[in-house]
Amino acid sequence: MAQSRTIEITLPQLAESVVDATITKWLKQPGDPVEEYEALCEIVTDKVTAELPSTADGVLDQILIGEGETVAVGTVVCTLRGEGGAADGTGQDVSAAGASEAATGSSTAAEAGDQSMRSRISPAVRTLADEHGIDLDQVPGSGLGGRIRRKDVLAYLANPQQAQSGQGTATSARSKGADPSEEGAEAVQAPLRSTGLHLTGNTTVRPKSDQAAAAAERGEELIDVSPVRATIASRMRQSVSEIPHAWTMIEVDVTNLVTLRNKLKDEFMRKEGVNLTYLAFLIKAVVNAIKDYPIMNSVWAVDKIIVKKDINISLAVGTEDAVYMPVIKKADQMNVAGLAKEIDQLTKRARAATLRPDDVQGGTFTVNNTGAFGSILSQPIINYPQACNFTFESIVKKPVVIDDMIAVRSMVNLCLSLDHRILDGVICGRFLQRVKENLEAFDTNTKLY
């Protein structure tokens, strides 16, 4: 009988400041074959939602930490039966590699038409793709629901033309109506991510206590607070209790900016494959203003004010369940085109819950595009421990008096929440005025690169 070895999977140090994490969902169950770098479970820290990859090939043996439990870094969360095979309950030897290969082969037909998991990419896979400059949209996924595995990226590296051909064949088969459910295969559905207020129709809420049952009788519904929501609540409470907030606003004429963007957006999309948003121009105007008023890029340290040299813009990205803060590192060193591409990448990662710990660290100044929802006025809570939270509101056409004549112009409100321990009205007023000047300076001659 072949001998197997037990492999312990521990919670890694995801970031320097992260000391614990919460297991939110197990993606594998005991007995399932697991490949190296394949995701075992989803975890949530106070920084990001991430996936815990396997460190070896094998078969999942025991789950030691249940869903919803919070554990410290270094804790063993599960064990695998490693290479060499393990004896099952009937005394037969089971090869981990063989089991994985068999599971992959048997599920190929069922997965052929399902791409529901394709956007869920593990940090290990994304890092490998980034290192080799691979566009993951071109890589066919062999995992559950079209998910891209590490071996798929390696196969693409070895023979990109053959990989693309294989992807085209699979796409062709799906387009011809190859529905696994027609052949008796069990349909595979992506696990629901929504755990907050936005419950989907497929979500079944079952009473877990007498309190829940009583609430149901009253026509109420109790929703468990997710780890992400609990972290947001803690940070917001800390911000409003420790930081004396003040607020100010300025109105800006962005008519020339609207004309510029309309002129360039189609060509930019064809060239870069990315939407040219107003937010890229705004961030460019903001970082140039911060260069003139560096105190805006600071934090309170009791007996000192720490002014940050690098201008790292925290970008508020909302999802159904939470708000994430991915960071554009050294934004002052980017042109408008570079900012647009970085905004697109970080936004997609945030909404796909694939942000890496490094993506959300080091922010020094927060920008929030509340205008995307039609808002014209906001009073944001400061992203602790930063000194400011800046919102870009909806662009609205208004009648404006110019040289004693009425003209229809595209106007926008810029709102700023500030830490009054660090900043006063004078400096913030000058800062907003500089942002206004920078935005109004954009015209049809402005270069993106």
- Write out the DSSP string of 86-101: EE-TTS-EE-HHHHHH
Q: How many domains does the chain contain in total?
A: 3
**What is the number of other CB atoms lying within 10 angstroms of the CB of residue 253?**
18
Same domain for 327 and 391, yes or no, is yes
| Contact (Cβ atoms closer than 8 angstroms) between residue 6 and residue 61 | yes
Q: How confident is the model at residue 344 (pLDDT cuts 50, 70, 90)?
A: very high
183 located within any domain = no
What residue type is assigned to position 342 of the chain?
E
Q: How confident is the model at residue 356 (pLDDT cuts 50, 70, 90)?
A: confident
Nearest CA among 269, 381, 246 for reference residue 325: 381
pLDDT reported for residue 141: 82
Q: Which residues contact 54 (CB under 8 A, 6 or more apart)?
A: 9, 34, 35, 36, 37, 38, 39, 40, 80
d(CA 325, CA 357): 11
Question: Does residue 395 register a pLDDT over 80?
Answer: yes
199 located within any domain = no
Question: Does residue 9 register a pLDDT over 90?
Answer: yes
| Contact (Cβ atoms closer than 8 angstroms) between residue 388 and residue 224 | no
Nearest CA among 358, 299, 297, 347 for reference residue 324: 347
Instruction: Give the mean pLDDT of 196-208.
Output: 44
DSSP 142-153: -SGGGPPPHHHH
| Contact (Cβ atoms closer than 8 angstroms) between residue 350 and residue 320 | no
pLDDT tens readout for residues 215-268: 888 888 888 887 778 888 888 999 999 999 999 999 999 999 999 999 999 999
Same domain for 77 and 37, yes or no, is yes
Instruction: Give the mean pLDDT of 371-394.
Output: 94
Among 58, 86, 109, identify where a domain stops: 109
d(CA 103, CA 33): 7
DSSP type of residue 187: P
206 located within any domain = no
| 317, burial (CB in 10 Å: exposed 0-12, middle 13-18, buried 19+) | buried
Among 49, 82, 109, identify where a domain stops: 109
Same domain for 74 and 117, yes or no, is no
Q: What is the mean pLDDT of the chain?
A: 81
Question: Does residue 309 register a pLDDT over 90?
Answer: yes
Nearest CA among 416, 410, 419, 417 for reference residue 439: 410
Same domain for 406 and 343, yes or no, is yes
For the chain, the helix, strand and coil percentages under 3-state DSSP, each to the nearest 5: 35, 20, 40
The token pair at 83 is 């290479």
pLDDT reported for residue 131: 75
pLDDT reported for residue 404: 93
pLDDT reported for residue 105: 43
Beta strands per DSSP E along 39-141: 39-44, 49-53, 58-63, 70-72, 76-81, 86-87, 93-94
Instruction: Give the mean pLDDT of 173-190.
Output: 40
Same domain for 30 and 122, yes or no, is no
Same domain for 324 and 248, yes or no, is yes
Instruction: Give the mean pLDDT of 39-48.
Output: 82
SS3 443: coil
pLDDT reported for residue 106: 40
| Contact (Cβ atoms closer than 8 angstroms) between residue 39 and residue 20 | no
Same domain for 78 and 15, yes or no, is yes
pLDDT reported for residue 123: 63
Same domain for 100 and 117, yes or no, is no
185 located within any domain = no
219 located within any domain = no
Same domain for 26 and 98, yes or no, is yes
pLDDT tens readout for residues 93-107: 433 333 344 334 444
Same domain for 295 and 309, yes or no, is yes
SS3 112: coil
Q: Is the peptide bond before 191 cis (omega within 30 degrees of 0)?
A: no
Same domain for 121 and 49, yes or no, is no
448 located within any domain = no
Residue 157 maps to which CATH number? Answer: 4.10.320.10
Same domain for 98 and 122, yes or no, is no
pLDDT tens readout for residues 115-152: 666 766 766 677 778 777 788 888 888 776 677 877 78
> Higher pLDDT residue, 121 or 58?
58
271 located within any domain = yes
256 located within any domain = yes
Residues in a beta bridge with 23: 43
Characterize 367-379 residue by residue with b for buried, 16 or more Cβ atoms within 10 angstroms of its Cβ, and e for exposed. Answer: bbbbbeeebeebe
Using the structure block, give the residue that is written with the tokens 């990001």.
48
Structural domain range at position 416: 229-440
Catalytic residue positions? 420, 424
Question: Does residue 447 register a pLDDT over 70?
Answer: yes
